[in-house]
Structure 1
Amino acid sequence: MTFWYEGPMASFDTETTGVDVEHDRIVTAALVLQDTADGPVRRREWVADPGLPIPAGATEVHGLTDEWARRNGRPPRVVVEEVARALAETARAGLPLVIMNAPYDLTLLDRELRRHRGTSLAQYAASAPLLVLDPRVLDKHLDRYRKGRRTLTDLCAHYGVDLGTAHDAAADATAALGLVRAIGARFGSTLGALTPAELHLRQAVWHAAQARGLQQWFTRSGSPELVDTSWPLRRQVDQAA
């Protein structure tokens, strides 16, 4: 018997101008596909000229500069359309879509589509919903009492997954895909009988519970920060600029 975590999957990641999903922009994006756990990985990559300066702090993380983006990038209006269509294709093919911290990448893509195309990610996925697998949500639910951080780097180290070149969209997407396979194998007795569609629904519930717990911690600490319970896409609080 082949379990879902052993079969075909896709994985998506972006590198951006910052961490504000309402206002920052996509610079690079990657979609990787793999038919089996040991099979070759196929990559599709995009580069956009974001039209805004890439802050020095972002460049320190991913190494992408304004000059590089202008030289290699295409108009964001074209890029986000192609990315959205590619993700919709994975949904129509029934492929689980791995995204580390999905509310970040998917929300930023949604806001870019609204900004440049006057449409939403939901419209592209109208014929078949995205079946998202988020290793961050899965790990926090399945191993909730483990101490330590849960970044992609930390999770790859914990599960023995090769990260490759961190903060490269294709490398991060590939690592996240391997991470979900590793989590699935380790917790097969819990996850193996579930379908990706069932897991998608459960992750929304798990993420909401995790977000409420984090919100309580912020409140006790006196922090004004608010945590969005929505998954895999954040609510649109106002029109993206």
Structure 2
Amino acid sequence: MDDTGWTGGPLLGFDTETTGVDVHTDRIVTAAVVVRTPRTTEVLTWMIDPGVEIPAEAAAIHGVSTEHARAHGRPPREALEEIAAVLARHAREGVPVVAYNAAFDLTLLDAELARHGLPTLPDRLGRPVAPVLDPLVIDRWQDRFRRGKRRLGDLCELYGITGEGDLHSADVDVLATLDVLEAQVLRFPDLRAVALDALHLAQRDAHQAWAENFNAWRALQGLPGPGASTAWPVEPRAAG
């Protein structure tokens, strides 16, 4: 990545694998934090015993069964404190958090921290988590009219990114996410000239516009369910 502007500084990648897709009630099973500079990559990983059964459908995706998590996983309160401390330490220094579909991982992490009586990331920072770089939001914003799906694997294929290991392992996903961001900066070079705070706000607005359009389309189709949240990079805390 060209080491001018924000692209020359460190990036803080984050990803989780979980018991399900409800950011307010599901639990983290594995997590990875990757600190990448133009010259170094530091990978930290955690496996957690979430204290609940891991559904077979979730285990089939990330490969961690209830039995395996109980045998090899860390106590959740202990591991969550470590994860949050690492993220907060770098975020205080202004290092951007990079996460694919950031609203999922950051919202889920805050819910988990609150569940275990620990300060959330905003509590630790004394402010909302920012700046955040989300390659999914950037893809929808910068390549709005491209057809096809926009999962992490789809963008890896689009940009010709290959790496060691299979996706749906938290550390592999973080490294792939950082590689996708690098490829996006090469394809959309104007991004590197945007200040991080402005880029954060632009993504927030782009996500809101996408969600509103998506929900309007769902309504026209008569599809049930709540649709997409307009909030980014963190969804509001669930009532109760």
Name the aligned partner's letter for residue 33 of structure 1. V
Q: Which residue of 1 aligns with 2:26?
A: 24
Residue 11 (structure 1) aligns with: 13
Letter in 2 for 1:31: V
Residue pair 1:156, 1:163 contacting (<8 A) in 2 also: no
TM-score for both structures, normalised by structure 1:
0.93
Cα distance per residue 1:193-239 (max 9 Å; x no partner): 11222111111111000100110111011113222100000012323
1:182 corresponds to: 183
Return the alpha-carbon distance in structure 1 between the equivalents of residues 8 and 162 of structure 2: 17
**Match of 1:232?**
233
SS at match of 1:238: coil
Q: Aligned residue for 1:137?
A: 137
Deviations 1:3-58 (A, max 9, x none): 3234321100001111111111001100001111xx34211111110000100000
Q: Partners of 1:68 and 1:183 in 2: how far apart?
A: 37
Q: Secondary structure at the match of 1:44?
A: strand
Q: Which deviates the most, 111-120 or 13-22?
A: 111-120
CA distance in 2, matches of 1:236, 1:109: 11
Partner of 1:117: 117
The SS at the match of 1:60 is: helix
Task: Give the Cα–Cα distance (whole angstroms) in 1 for the partners of residues 131 and 174 of structure 2.
Answer: 16
- The within-5 A match list for 1:59-98 is 59-98=59-98
2-structure distance, mates of 1:236, 1:127: 15
Work out the CA distance in 2 between the residues paired with 1:119 and 1:35. Answer: 28
Amino acid of the structure 2 residue aligned with 1:170: D
Does structure 1 retain, via aligned residues, the 8 Å contact 2:81–2:118?
no
TM-score w.r.t. the length of structure 2 is 0.93
Hey, what's the Cα distance between the residues in 2 that align with 1:24 and 1:67? 17
Distance of 2:151 and 2:123 partners within structure 1: 30
Are residue 148 (structure 1) and residue 148 (structure 2) matched?
yes
Deviation at 1:142, TM superposition (A): 0.3
Deviation at 1:125, TM superposition (A): 2.2
8 Å contact from structure 1 (residues 12, 30) kept in 2: yes
Unaligned runs of 5+ in 1: none
- For residues 102 and 155 of structure 1, the distance between their equivalents in structure 2, rounded to whole angstroms, comes to 16
Contact 2:14 2:174 in 1 (8 A): yes
- Pairwise CA RMSD of aligned residues? 1.5
Distance 1:207 1:163 in 2: 28
Tell me the SS of whatever aligns to 2:199: helix
Look up the match of 2:217.
Answer: 217
Structure 1 counterpart of 2:76, one-letter code: P
Q: Distance in 2 between matches of 1:196 and 1:2?
A: 13
CA contact (8 A) 2:122 2:128 kept: no
**How far off its partner does 1:151 sit?**
0.2
**Percent of aligned positions that are identical:** 44
Deviations 1:162-207 (A, max 9, x none): 254211101100110111111012101x212112221111111110
CA drift of 1:160 comes to 1.8
Letter in 1 for 2:167: A
Contact 1:34 1:40 in 2 (8 A): yes
Unpaired stretches in structure 2, ≥5 consecutive residues: none
Distance 1:237 1:64 in 2: 27
* CA distance 1:129–1:61, shift in 2 (3 Å): closer
